[in-house]
Structure formats: structure tokens, C-alpha cells
């Protein structure tokens, strides 16, 4: 049982990595000797100065000091707070809030037929420092379900 109060984690940083994701990282706390199994809860909102509660808790029981929040709306500011919790549910003070705004969606895709068997695709490179993944889908119809097709292979190069 944790007989001491836990300190709040420090160094919370939020970085948008795409139009629908924000990465969070913080410095893990050094727990007192009687505290074991420290985990972290993450709270989020689109309103600055929000009060962390069960209704805006977006992750709980995290054992690491980072979290990737996905499925977000583009061009939206998100606010976050992190709290350390011991196994007996004694909680620490909540780390001061930080914010990040998701990026604009990629819209400048160009396709140029360079031969009967090749179409070159190009788009602006992401401006984020975080790793970025590009998913490319193809179809012969303008409206189609985005899904991976086994056996389809693509060479992707960002120019």
C-alpha cells in the first residue's frame, strides 16, 4: 500500500502528428519505496482549463510514459492532463494541461499517368517531426471502400 502521496508527472508534451492524431509524452515519476505498480491516467478535452474526471478520461492504467490519441477531428485543438495512480488507486496531483492542434488533412494528391502501366502519385510531405505513415488505396471507381487488397504492391516515394 502506498503510504505517501505521489508527485505529479512532469514534462508533459503534446505533438500533433497528423490530421487525426496527437502524441503525448511525459517524464515518469519515481515512486516512494512503499508505492508499487504506478500507472498513468490521461484526460482530454477540446476545452482549455477542463476539470479532469471520469467523463473525459481517454486512457487509464498506462504503464509507459507516452500515449497516442487517434481518431481526432482535423484542425482542432485538444487539451490534455496526466495523473499518476498507484495500485491502491491513491492518486497524485494532475499535471498541468498542455494542448496541440491536429493538422490539416492532406488534400493535394496528384496522379500523373507516365506510361500505360504506371501512374505517379505525389503530395506534399508532412511537416511533423513524428513518424508519418501514408496509406495508398486504389480502385477503378471514384467511390469505393478503402481496404487493403492482397497482392497489390506499390512503390511510394515522397518527392
Q: How far lies 25's CA from each of 3, 9, 64, 84, 148, in Å? A: 27, 10, 9, 13, 31
Domain boundaries, the chain: 10-101
Higher-scoring residue by pLDDT: 36, 11: 11
Residue % of the chain over a pLDDT of 90: 38
Higher-scoring residue by pLDDT: 1, 44: 44
Report the pLDDT averaged over residues 69-86: 93
Closest residue by Cα to residue 60 from 78, 35, 39, 38: 39
Report the pLDDT averaged over residues 80-88: 87
Cell triple for 139 = 480502385
Higher-scoring residue by pLDDT: 100, 131: 100
Please report the pLDDT score of residue 93 as a whole number: 77
Q: How far lies 18's CA from each of 100, 102, 111, 127, in Å? A: 11, 6, 22, 9
The domain over range 10-101 is classified in CATH as 2.60.40.10: yes
| Beta bridge pairs of residue 143 | none
pLDDT of residue 124 exceeding 70, the answer is: yes
Helix (H, G, I), strand (E, B) or coil at 56: helix
Report the pLDDT averaged over residues 59-88: 92
pTM: 0.67
pLDDT tens digits along 23-46: 999 999 887 777 778 899 999 999
How many CB atoms sit inside 10 A of residue 15's CB?
14
Please report the pLDDT score of residue 153 as a whole number: 46
Residues in the chain: 159
In which element (H, E) is residue 44 found? strand 39-45
Amino acid at each position: 500500500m502506498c503510504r505517501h502521496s505521489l508527485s505529479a508527472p512532469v514534462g508533459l508534451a503534446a505533438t500533433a502528428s497528423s490530421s487525426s492524431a496527437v502524441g503525448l509524452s511525459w517524464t515518469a515519476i519515481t515512486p516512494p519505496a512503499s508505492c508499487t505498480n504506478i500507472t498513468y491516467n490521461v484526460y482530454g478535452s477540446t476545452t482549455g482549463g477542463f476539470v479532469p474526471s471520469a467523463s473525459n478520461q481517454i486512457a487509464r492504467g498506462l504503464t509507459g510514459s507516452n500515449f497516442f490519441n487517434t481518431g481526432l477531428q482535423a484542425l482542432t485543438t485538444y487539451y490534455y492532463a496526466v495523473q499518476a495512480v498507484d495500485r491502491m488507486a491513491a492518486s497524485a496531483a494532475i499535471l498541468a494541461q498542455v494542448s496541440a492542434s491536429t493538422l490539416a488533412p492532406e488534400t493535394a494528391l496528384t496522379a500523373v499517368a507516365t506510361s500505360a502501366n504506371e501512374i505517379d502519385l505525389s503530395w506534399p510531405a508532412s511537416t511533423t517531426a513524428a513518424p508519418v505513415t501514408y496509406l495508398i488505396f486504389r480502385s477503378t471507381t471514384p467511390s469505393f471502400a478503402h481496404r487493403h487488397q492482397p497482392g497489390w504492391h506499390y512503390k511510394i516515394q515522397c518527392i
